[in-house]
Structure formats: structure tokens, C-alpha cells
Amino acid sequence: MGCFFSKKSRRKSPDKEPANDQEAPKQYSWDKREKVDPKDFMLTGIKDATVGRLPGKLNGQQFVIQECENCNIYVFDHSAAVTIDDCVNCRIFLGPVKGSVFFRDCKDIKCVVACQQFRTRDCKKMEIFLCCATQPIIESSTGMKFGCFQYYYPELAFHFKDAGLSIFNNNWSNIHDFTPVAGENNWSLLPEDSVVLDHVPMPDPESEFKSVRISTEASRSIVPSTKGGRRKDSEESCLFVFFAGDYTTANARKLIDEASAKGFVLIQTKEVSMRPEDVNRVFQNNAEGLHEWISKGPVVALELNGDGVVEACRNIADEVFNGTKVFVSESKNTSSRDVDNFFNFADMQMGL
């Protein structure tokens, strides 16, 4: 007697074609990536030429420059890290670098650089317009001169963001000499009126970079031009802090323009996150009402300098930034303490 639940025979009918047992190969994410040619990410052994990379060509990759002589080199893109070895008599622009820029065994170099870390070793006679988030380091290097980053091209602000760099965190003048020599100074600051174009020229109009719209005017620079470690013109400084909002960067730029038009000088800037205990320590008696604002994001602080700057900044805050959450030093009697409290905190926060 048959069983109603017996299974169908698994034997295949002889007149049917055998099934194809071969499966299609699996596709992995790395199989779908565009093939990378290492030569696209290096410049080697080039002489007497204008070379580099246009926006969108690196997209955060590492880059190498080596054994170049008498070249104008322009990297109009963001990258992960850049090493420059054995180059002589070159003019170099490097767009924002997420990690380190390392010059080794180079001499007679003039450059504009934005990076997280900057270091030189065994270099001679370099002039650097720098934006560096950490303390720049020189090692076994002589004749090093530093100035503040001054540059603009349309994609540059986006490249700073892609590289994770803040335009307000620039320690260009806070140099650490890893190998100091007694009685000698291996580095100095460029004259305050130094112009980028006198050091790093515009690309050749016949080159592939002619389409990049560049400006080296300090007023158009993505990174604010600061006085840095140079001697202050006045004993009066003012701390002006913007709390996080939709227009923090634009507001900071507006303040710089307003203050500069009145003859005041921007000394330094910082963008940092704060905790409630930081607010209490930095702002002390003025901390009340500020705690809720730090949860919205980092603050942007500026030190402005000049006789009468505190009163002027308080007027600007009332007239231009009414409705925007800010902190401004109350009087010139307390403003120096305000500046020291904030920027000492910021330097500690950033490990400087």
C-alpha cells in the first residue's frame, strides 16, 4: 500500500539537461573600486616645469613629491598626507592635508601649506605661508621663515571641510625647534607685509591650472590673516566669542571685517568644543546662561587688539550681532584675563 506522504524521487529525468553547478563569482566592494595608478599620486624627478593636480584629482589620497628642481607645483585638492623629499628651488602650493606634511632634505623652497601637522627635517632656506592645526616642528633645519596662510580658490573651503581642518585653528607662528643650537635661531617670522605672490607666483597662464580662479589677497583668504606671535601694537586686547549657530563662520568673518575697518588687528583665533566645567573655568562670573549654548557645537573665539578695542567690540556686538549669542570682554581691565583664560584653555584642549 502506497504512502500519501512519500517524497518525489530526486533522480533527474535522463532527457533533461544537467543543471549548471558553477555559481557566478561573488562581487566584493574592493572589486568595484576604480583602479588606482600610483603615478597619479606622485611627482618625481621633474625639472623646470609647472605641474600639480587640479581639484578632484586626489580626493583625500596620499601624495608624494620628490627630486624636483626649479618647479612651480600646485596641488588644488585635499589629501591624506604629503611628503616632499630632495626638492630644490621650488615654489609649492598644497591644498588642505588631513594629516601631516613632511619636508625632508629640501632647500630653497617657497610654499603655501594647510595641514594638521607640519614638519621639516634637514631642510635649508624655506619660506612657508602656513595654516597648521598643531604646533609646527622643524628638525635639523636652518633659515626657516614663516608667515600666515593667505589663499583662495572656489573649492578651498570645501577642501578644508573634507580634510577635517578648521580655518580658525592656525598655529603658524608657534614653532617648535626640535634641534636648537645655542646662540643661533633656526627660524623667524616673515615681515608682516609679506605678499604670497612675491614668493609663490600664480600658475603659468598657459598651464593646465589657468582655469582655477585664485586670489592671494589677505581679505579674500579662506584662513583669517592673524598677527600670531608678533609683538602686539597695543596693550589692550578683547576676547570675542561666537557660540554655535548656522552662521558662526560668516559672523566671525563679518566681525573681522568690521574690526579691521576700524583699525584693529586680529591676533589669533580658535574653534573648540567646551564642557560645562570649561565654561565655568574660562568665563568665571559670566558663565551663567552660557552652558546651554555649548551643547550646540564648538565655539569660535577671536582676540582683537588695539587701543579702544573693547568698547568698539561691544558696540559692534550690539549693532551688528544683536540676537546672536556672543561673549565680549566687559572692560579693558578684565579683557587680558579673558583672553588668557580662553586661549590657555584652547591650547590645552588641543594639546599645544
Predicted local distance difference test score (pLDDT) of residue 86: 98
Domain end point (choices 198, 224, 240): 198
Annotation-wise, does 118 bind a ligand?
yes
Q: Phi and psi for 261 in degrees, rounded to 5?
A: -65, -25
Mean pLDDT to the nearest integer, 126-130: 98
What average pLDDT does range 168-174 have in this prediction? 97
Based on the domain organization, do 168 and 280 belong to the same domain? no
Instruction: Compute the residue count for the chain.
Output: 352
Would residue 219 count as lying in a domain?
no
Residue 9 has pLDDT above 50, yes or no: no
Cα–Cα distance measured from residue 135 to residue 171, given in angstroms and rounded to the nearest whole number: 6
Q: In this structure, are 107 and 178 located in the same domain?
A: yes
Q: Which residue has the higher pLDDT, 284 or 177?
A: 177
Residues 60 and 178 both lie in one domain:
yes
pLDDT computed for residue 58 by the predictor: 95
* Residue 47 counted as domain residue: yes
Q: Was 345 annotated as part of a binding site?
A: no
Domain boundary among 174, 198, 222: 198
> By C-alpha distance, which of 159, 154, 130, 169 is closest to 212?
154
Is residue 23 assigned to a domain? no
Is 268 marked as a binding-site residue?
Answer: no
Q: Quick check: 111 pLDDT over 80?
A: yes
The answer to whether 119 is annotated as binding is yes
- Tens digits of per-residue pLDDT, 206-244? 899 999 999 999 889 999 999 999 999 999 999 999 998
Whole-number percent of the chain with pLDDT over 90: 80
Domain annotation covers residue 58: yes
Averaged pLDDT, 36-51: 90
* Residues 80 and 99 sit within 8 Å (Cβ to Cβ): yes
Whether residues 67 and 110 share a domain: the answer is: yes
Same domain, 236 and 194: no
Domain boundaries, position 183: 39-198
In a domain, 217, yes or no: no
Sequence-distant (≥ 6) Cβ neighbours of residue 152 within 8 angstroms: 214, 215, 216, 217, 220, 221, 222
**Residue 231, marked binder:** no
Number of separate domains in the chain: 2
What is the reported pLDDT for 351? 80
CATH code, domain with 276: 3.30.70.141
Together in a domain, 185 and 266: no
Backbone φ, ψ for residue 222 (5° rounding)? -60, -40
Residues 173 and 110 in one domain: yes
| Domain edge (last residue) among 198, 216, 240 | 198
Q: Is pLDDT at 20 greater than 90 in this prediction?
A: no
Provide the phi-psi class of 337: left if phi over 0, else alpha when psi is between -120 and 50, else beta: alpha
Lowest model confidence (mean pLDDT) among 34-43, 235-244, 292-301? 34-43
Tell me what pLDDT residue 289 has: 84
Q: Which residues are 121's β-sheet partners?
A: 104, 139
* Same structural domain, 45 and 189: yes
Same domain, 172 and 251: no
Whether 8 is in a domain gets the answer: no
223, 167 Cβ separation under 8 angstroms: yes
* 70 assigned to some structural domain: yes
What's the whole-model pTM score?
0.88
What does the pLDDT read at residue 27? 67
Maximal CA-CA distance, the chain: 112
Same domain, 187 and 43: yes
Whether 203 maps to a domain, the answer reads no
181 and 240 housed in the same domain? no
Do residue 157 and residue 254 come from a single domain?
no
